[in-house]
Amino acid sequence: MIKKFTLGNPINTEAVVLKADSHSVDTFPFEHRIEDGKFIFEFSMESSDIIYGLGEAPRGINKRGWIYESFCSDDPFHTETKSSLYAAHNFLMMQGSKNFGIFIDFPAKIRWDIGYTHEDKTVVTIDGTDFDIYFIDDNKPIDIVKEFRYAIGKSYIPPFWAFGYQQSRWSYPDETAVDAVIDGYDKANIPLDCVYLDIDYMERYKDFTVDSEKFPDFAGYVKKKKEQGIHLIPIIDAGVKKETGYKIYEEGLINDFFCKKSDGPVFEGGVWPGIVGFPDFLNKEVREWFGSKYKILTDMGIDGFWNDMNEPAIFYSTTGLENALNKAKSLEGENLDLSKFFELKDTFTGLSNNPADYSSIYHNIDGKMVCHDKVHNIYGANMTKAAGEYFEKEFGKSKILMFSRASYVGAHRSSGIWFGDNHSWWSHILLNLKMLPSANMCGFLYCGADLGGFNENATRDLVLRFLALGVFTPLMRNHAALGTRNQECYNFDNSDDFKDIIEVRYRLIPYLYNTFCKASETNDMIFRPLAFDYPDDKLARECETQLLLGDECMICPVYEQNVNGRYVYLPEDMTYVKLSGTNVETRFMEKGIHYIDVALNEVPLFIKKGKKVPLCKPAMRTSLLDVENLEYIEG
């Protein structure tokens, strides 16, 4: 049963599509109060209760024992003590002494103290008094999720080829670089479907432009690549470069389409192109305008995009930088003591994503000026909506690949997400795994992390182990940052090991795509915590290194360096399958604790008794897959 509680006049985020009657929050089932303009509610937890939710967020599948914040943040250090990442997914669910779910539809900050201050208490603080809360009561966690997902509408389904293996880097700036990647994979006989164009393909980082020195005939090049079976996926940033003669900026300016400062002028922030204007995506007219600009690239044959920097990320504002420079000037010649030194240093380090800058931004929502603070968490989602609405109108469903960095519930209907700028850390294999069921709960099915890790240098074994998890994630993309080691598979010793892993992905694509579409259709999850299916099994309840996949499988990636395998817990008898290239080895295993050997070129998978998983033959492109002739591995 889903029940809606409303306080004040909520901003319409369009997260929920279900029409539901509003009840007064006075009847909201948890202890609550209003303090300093904030709505606070709390509930207690027994020690064995599990709290799920918050979608793309730091830490575990079980969110207990931390304070999280809903606040879309461009933060590339996904360490354990962060409170937010790029998304705001305000769904929480308890399994245990009581089973229920809560969705808070509110686009500003929310603080979730889930057993941090007191281990047995969750305290949620909504930073305002205008919101809807949906409360969902059911027996089983999966049913609570399905009811929530029904309320928020069906999840985005990408084109089939988006399940192919994808290679990215900041950046492959020109034709030569892109060709080298395709050539490298082809020569190593490793399948590949997409190559990404990070910011350097553009002319001076201007959205919807292509640098004609790097790509003299972009449309022709895109066509040629498509003939090779390769999709090029360009990045689109939220900010529009301020430049005289740049048509999109000038259109935005004339039409009053950019976010403003309270006192009238356009808010100017520095991002990749230098100073930009931020399109006011909360305004429908702006969305239509910006969405239609994607046509410039689709007309050249592009059929996939990634939307970035849309939290929005702001390196500095002109005002902030001016203040910092003035501060530096005022200290000239002074004998700085330590506090003055740190004040100065902090002024410069604090220029990026500065709260004061966000507070100075204003949106035009239905003719009313609204401070950015009140709607921060739906800015990125509305950029995605701008594109999604255009694509669906122009091309229909499942034709264009799109995923975004920032997101809010509702964006799952028109887009996927990737988990942002992670690191080449072993711990980020597990972080990737843990985010999958949490994202699924919130409607985001097409998702994945940067395999091999984005920031810093990866080791060969890390990339292999990361990819072996990525075999199962809908988005299977290897991506690495400027200045890091070349992370393309063919650049490592003995690339056959990589071929063995990625071929397994291609063999599984019919199964994975089918599981994906079914999950979207039935509001189901692709990845479930073991506790969903085995609520009374103590070891299953606390397991955060394995996931159930569809109705058939359990996955359990190796996530440590210098090991030959891992411990795995089987909550029931299963068949252990080792996949490597076209090799399939199966072995029956009994319920219980086991150690499994997993070589660097192997993908471990467990299949439940009586279930079967189809495999096709591998191919170098998804378009070459023979999805009619399948063999089955039986559990």
Binding site for a second copy (CB under 8 A): 50, 59-60, 62, 64-66, 79-81, 115-116, 118-119, 270-275, 315-316, 321, 324-325, 328-329, 331-332, 335-338, 341-342, 344-345, 348-349, 351, 423-427, 455-457, 459-462, 493, 538-539, 542, 544, 560-564, 567, 593-595
Amino acid type, 600: L
Which of 140, 340 has the CB closer to a second copy?
A: 340
Print the SS3 string covering 550-610. CCCEEECCCCCCCCCEEEEEECCCEEEEEEECCEEEEEEECCEEEEEECCCCCEEEEEECC
Shortest Cβ distance from residue 366 to a second copy (Å)? 35
Which of 222, 481 has the CB closer to a second copy?
A: 481
Which of 369, 539 has the CB closer to a second copy?
A: 539
CB proximity list for 621: less than 8 A, separation 6 or greater: 161, 164, 191, 192, 193, 229, 230
DSSP structure class, residue 490: G
Which of 60, 291 has the CB closer to a second copy?
A: 60
Shortest Cβ distance from residue 34 to a second copy (Å)? 26
Which of 271, 417 has the CB closer to a second copy?
A: 271
Shortest Cβ distance from residue 424 to a second copy (Å)? 6
Q: Which residue, among 415, 210, 186, 194, has the nearest Cα to 308 in the 3D structure?
A: 415
- Joined tokens for residue 559: 């996530």
Q: Which residue, among 204, 284, 283, 205, has the nearest Cα to 237 in the 3D structure?
A: 205
Count of other CB atoms within 10 angstroms of residue 24: 9
User: Could you tell me where the DSSP H helices lie in 350-398?
Assistant: 355-359, 379-395
Q: Which helix (H) or strand (E) holds 517?
A: helix 496-521
Which of 471, 543 has the CB closer to a second copy?
A: 543
Which of 33, 329 has the CB closer to a second copy?
A: 329
Shortest Cβ distance from residue 4 to a second copy (Å)? 31
CB proximity list for 341: less than 8 A, separation 6 or greater: none
Per the CB < 8 A criterion, the answer to whether 509 and 164 are in contact is: yes
Which of 431, 553 has the CB closer to a second copy?
A: 431
Longest Cα–Cα distance of the chain, Å, equals: 79
Which of 314, 447 has the CB closer to a second copy?
A: 314
Q: Which residue, among 458, 445, 429, 436, has the nearest Cα to 560 in the 3D structure?
A: 429
Angle between helices 338-349 and 318-330 (to 10 degrees): 160
Which of 459, 623 has the CB closer to a second copy?
A: 459
Instruction: Write the Ramachandran bin of 455: left for phi over 0, alpha for psi from -120 to 50, otherwise beta.
Output: beta
Shortest Cβ distance from residue 259 to a second copy (Å)? 20
Shortest Cβ distance from residue 218 to a second copy (Å)? 24
Shortest Cβ distance from residue 225 to a second copy (Å)? 29
Shortest Cβ distance from residue 348 to a second copy (Å)? 4
Shortest Cβ distance from residue 132 to a second copy (Å)? 30
Helix and strand counts by DSSP (H, E) for the chain: 15, 39
Per the CB < 8 A criterion, the answer to whether 155 and 443 are in contact is: yes
DSSP structure class, residue 457: P
Shortest Cβ distance from residue 326 to a second copy (Å)? 8
Shortest Cβ distance from residue 59 to a second copy (Å)? 7
Per the CB < 8 A criterion, the answer to whether 251 and 285 are in contact is: no
Pairwise CA distance, residues 4 & 28, whole Å: 9
Which of 80, 634 has the CB closer to a second copy?
A: 80
Pairwise CA distance, residues 232 & 175, whole Å: 11
Which residues lie across from 305 on neighbouring strands?
Answer: 402
